[in-house]
Amino acid sequence: MGKQPRQRPISCKFCRLRKLRCSRQFPCTNCTSRGVPCQASDEVPTRSTHPDTSSSVNGTHGDSLATLSAPEVLARLNRLEALVESHSRELGRKKKAYPRLGPLSPQSPVPSHLQGLMDDALSFSPIGRQSKQGPSSLTDVLVLRACPIRNFPAHPASEDMPNSLLPDGVVRTKRHIWLPSRSEALPIADIMTSHHGYYPKIIHVPSLPGIFSDLYDALEQGNRPNLGTAALLLSICALVTCTCLHTADAARLFSSNRGYTSRSEFWLKPALHIVEHLKTIGEVSLESLQALCLCYCALTNIHGVTQTTRLMTNDAIGIGRELGLHRIDYRQNAVDPSAGYQLTVKAEIGRRVWWFLAMLDWTLSQYSGPLEGVISIHPSHMAVRKPLNINDEDIIEGQPVFEKPPNQLTTTSYLLQRIRFAETFLEPLNSGWSTLATGDTMDYSSILEMDQKIQDFIRELPPFFSINSKEIRVIPNSMPASHANLECHAMTMVAHRHRCKIHLPFLMQSLSEPTYAPSREACLESARIIMQARNKLNQENTAPQHTLERSAYLAAIVLVLETCLDGKADHDPIRDEEMQDAWDILRDGQPQSPVVSKLLGLASETLKKNLKSHPTLNSLEQFSAAGTPDLGGAGHGPLETPGYSHQGNMTMDPLNHPSAESEIAYIEQQWQALEGGTELEAMDWDRFLSGIDIAPFL
């Protein structure tokens, strides 16, 4: 048998050169994936997508195109077009589609088997992150001790630890922090929840016995206690001493031989020490954030909005982001409210805390100061649904919770309404309207639009938050009736106070410019409603609230200015009674704030300058004979509290802050200028009243 002729290689040239396994169908997969011509032999390159493309083009017997008739050429062209079309469809089917990365749609539930894979993948994500632990050498060593309050030392001891010298030569200090005894912790919390209706509902009250028990168990067993819980307990003590000390239970618990334990600053100092310690070592927790929020409320209840409280707000927002509160509901499946929400206590309280911070941030943007017209929390930068309208006792770990309708009063109703009110400030800020604009540069139509938004909010309030509503309130068993009444009047005063504030720059101009007459009417109407709410609280013997009095300061000033604008000294019993109430508010507020003391003096000079005779001037002369307000300061002395924030020379005394000093100096300047004939229209009333700005959360 003769020698067989060499067979044609079955692999293409490229695969033979690269020693790859050829698919033997030309063009092969290797050439196709690399985008190179697939040659079945050294002479004939093949680019077709089908094995018989070459033969179909050149003819089955190698016939040239010149010998083909026109119908045959058209037939071959049709076959080529069909091959190209089929090749395009095949590539389209093989092409992989990569979806855009982004949050999962809540309307598309993730299958259970994929959810498990996602959880496994996400569990590896913290591995590559940097540690949150901070250098412990930058902080003191905190030693927690517990004993009855009456045995507290006036100045907790602190000592250097020479045996703890670090390689860099830093000496650490041991600082002793005293806590109330176990038997006193829960009664203190009960005082806050039963007598103080203004505490922010960012605490799950039914959980307090458990976390306090764990704290004292750790202390008694010599284990490391939860510092966040300790800070929370101390902040509750601070809030109780500044708001509930008039009650018999609080007076009995916080009594001591020298009386220092009854001062809120005594409790604020260690609470803020612990929070700063946890921030430095990177161990902040939800409890430490709650403690910082309560410390904020205690300070603003006493001194209003100051540089210290603004810095505390910024720190609290930063801690909230570190804890992930701004994205609690990110990548969560949709939940049908009719089936009930499966809640965890920590997640729901986290939502309350974050929305509380958002409400503070948006409200502070409306206050005179560095944060005016500026917000730190934007709605598009968070994935947190609003808290549910439920009571604390409705939240049971792992159990379905059914949200109550908006017209049903719960422990979170006030917080939800404050959030809704703060949201009215967002649209003007996003549209470019800034509160930094002055009366000369501000578009007055923007003021009227904002006024309409506030009136709409007041009109849409639930009946249980309307002071004129005749509807009987259905109060939850866990909420004392005094709390519901207090929140009702507070909501009214908050809304009308802000209405007064936005119209105040145009109040004095309304005398010479009729265009601004609506501002005068709005200021006077809201001021009278604020006074009405305050008088109702006094008639019902509701516990005094410094923050409510601060809201009344603005109403009092508006009534004084209105009397000066009216220019009449005639006896009007209603107007005389309004003026007397306004004067009593300012006079009684002197011990609470030195700014109010100076404000009273300026109001006196304003009234004397613009009205030579008025019934109120008689009582003013009697008051002046008893003692003229001291321009050097009045009220509380400097608070013996530690520095807060990152500046060591910063104390929590608002009078030591440059911002507070500038406001007091401005009031003194205006006082002296009035004697020289300064007109009321020329005063910057918005800045003038910034010294008595109340806490954003009453």
pLDDT band at 247 (very low <50, low <70, confident <90, very high): confident
Quick check: 353 pLDDT over 90?
Answer: yes
pLDDT at 44 over 50: no
Q: Per-residue DSSP letters for 512-531?
A: T-GGGHHHHHHHHHHHHHHH
Between CA 354 and CA 486 the distance in angstroms is: 24
User: What per-residue confidence (pLDDT) applies to 440?
Assistant: 53
* CA distances, 527 to each of 221, 465, 522, 544 (Å): 57, 18, 8, 19
Tokens standing for residue 433:
């309207």
| pLDDT of residue 135 exceeding 50 | yes
How are the residues of the chain apportioned to helix, strand and coil, as percentages rounded to the nearest 5? 60, 5, 40
How far is the C-alpha of 674 from the C-alpha of 651, rounded, in Å?
33
For residue 655, the model assigns a pLDDT of 36
172-179/141-146 β-pairing: parallel
- What's the pLDDT score for residue 612? 60
Cβ neighbours for 345, distance < 8 A, ≥ 6 positions apart = 204, 207, 395, 397
Question: Per-residue pLDDT for 623 more than 70?
Answer: no
Note the pLDDT tens digit of each residue in 313-331. Answer: 999 999 999 999 999 988 6
What's residue 469's pLDDT? Answer: 64
Residues with Cβ within 8 Å of 350's Cβ and at least 6 positions away in sequence, in order, are 286, 323, 325, 328
pLDDT for residue 478 is more than 80: no
User: Can you tell me whether residue 160 is helix, strand or coil?
Assistant: strand
| Residue 465 predicted with pLDDT over 60 | yes
Give the per-residue pLDDT at 488.
85
- Domains within the chain, CATH numbers bracketed: 8-59 (4.10.240.10), 136-162+170-303 (no CATH), 325-692 (no CATH)
Q: How confident is the model at residue 610 (pLDDT cuts 50, 70, 90)?
A: low
Cα 617 to Cα 623: distance, rounded to the nearest angstrom:
10
Which is more confidently placed, 539 or 103? 539
The whole-angstrom separation of Cα 365 and Cα 426 is 9
For residues 680 and 310, the model is more confident at: 310
Q: Look at residue 356 in the predicted model and tell me its pLDDT.
A: 97
Indicate the Cα dihedral angle 28, 33, 39, 44, nearest 10°.
Answer: 110
Cα separation, 335 vs 342, in Å, equals: 9
Range with top average pLDDT, 119-133, 184-198, 587-601, 633-647: 184-198
230 has pLDDT over 80: yes
536 — pLDDT class (breaks 50, 70, 90): confident
Question: How high does pLDDT run on average in the chain?
Answer: 73
Res 633 pLDDT > 60: no
Q: Does residue 99 surpass a pLDDT of 50? A: no
Q: Are 691 and 599 in contact (CB under 8 A)?
A: yes
pLDDT tops 70 at residue 358: yes
β pairing state of 45-46 and 141-146: unpaired
3: which DSSP letter?
P
Most confident of 139-143, 186-190, 674-678, 687-691: 186-190
Q: Which two tokens stand for residue 46?
A: 């093949």
Query: Whole-angstrom Cα distance, residue 420 to residue 36?
Result: 64
First to last CA, the chain: 110
Q: For residue 232, what pLDDT is reported? A: 97
At residue 188, does pLDDT exceed 60? Answer: yes
Distance from the Cα of residue 590 to its chain's centroid: 31
Q: Rounded to an integer, what distance in angstroms lies between the CA atom of residue 157 and that of residue 363?
A: 40
Nearest to 654 by CA among 194, 265, 202: 265
Q: What is the dihedral of CA 445, 696, 454, 424, to 10 degrees?
A: 80
Nearest in space to 441 (alpha carbons), one of 452, 451, 432, 453: 432
Torsion of CA 270, 271, 274, 276, to 10 degrees: -100
What would the pLDDT profile of 288-305 be if each residue is shown by its tens digit?
999 999 999 988 887 778
What is the CB neighbour count within 10 angstroms for residue 155?
A: 9
Give the number of other Cβ atoms within 10 Å of residue 341's Cβ: 18
- Predicted confidence at residue 477, as pLDDT, reads 66
Q: Are 170 and 261 a contacting pair, CB within 8 Å?
A: no
Question: What is the percent of the chain where pLDDT is above 90?
Answer: 24
Q: Specify the pLDDT at position 622.
A: 55
